[in-house]
Amino acid sequence: MTHYIYLVRHGEHLDAEHGLVDGPLSPRGQRQAAAIADRLSGVPLEAVWHSPLQRAEQTAHAVAERLTAVSPTPSALLFDCVPTGMTPETPAAYEPFFGAVTEAEIEAGSAQMADATAEFLRRRSGEVHELLITHNFVIGWFVREVLGAPDWRWLTLNQAHCGLTVIAQKPGRPWTLLTHNDLSHLPWELRTGLPEPLPF
């Protein structure tokens, strides 16, 4: 019996290009959310968790509309955050990014991710299918955790809007990464949110 966790980054939010921290989904974000909802419509999800931010909440509700037995539940553990600061192993190229992040934000993000992985990567009994709709850095941290990669590696694990990442655990075995940032449900024009555009 396997415990599956489906990790999805929220859809694009309105006026994101103007630096707004949060907002409703843009028209393109609504299409992205509909696409991931269609993709997951056949999965027997038992729970849909989402970040309390509006863009994640709206993405979660788009999925839940196709799953009448599941109600989306907000979790503060899935808020957008910065899990670490610069470490001795972090490449110097990332220093400008951390220049705008306070020590308090890093401390809070680190504590949040410790709690989040302890909560969601806790083995449940039986066959379990859970969906977490959250943010780029949070998903990067979960993937890094599952792979046992150095802490700074979350910086290199990026997800497109409504990209699908799946991790799983069988009894007695470690967590495994089944797929990362799968975009097969998104047409080319909906593949947004990556720091560098895909070459295909």
Tell me: pLDDT of 25 over 70. yes
Tell me: pLDDT of 200 over 90. no
Please state the domain extents for the chain.
Answer: 3-170
Tens digits of per-residue pLDDT, 61-117? 998 888 777 899 999 999 999 999 999 999 999 999 999 899 999 999 999 999 999
CB of 8 within 8 A of CB of 162? yes
Query: Maximum Cα–Cα distance for the chain, whole Å?
Result: 48
Residue 24 is given by DSSP the state P
Q: What is the mean pLDDT of the chain?
A: 93
Report the residue count for the chain. Answer: 200
pLDDT tier for residue 18 given thresholds of 50, 70 and 90: low
Q: How many CA atoms lie within 13 A of 73 on its CB side?
A: 11
pLDDT score, position 32:
97
H/E segment holding residue 29: helix 27-40
Tell me: pLDDT of 17 over 60. no
pLDDT tier for residue 16 given thresholds of 50, 70 and 90: low
CB of 168 within 8 A of CB of 120? no
Tens digits of per-residue pLDDT, 101-144? 999 999 999 999 999 999 999 988 889 999 999 999 999 999 99
CATH, range 3-170? 3.40.50.1240
pLDDT score, position 23:
83
Q: Cβ of 69: how many Cβ atoms within 10 Å?
A: 8
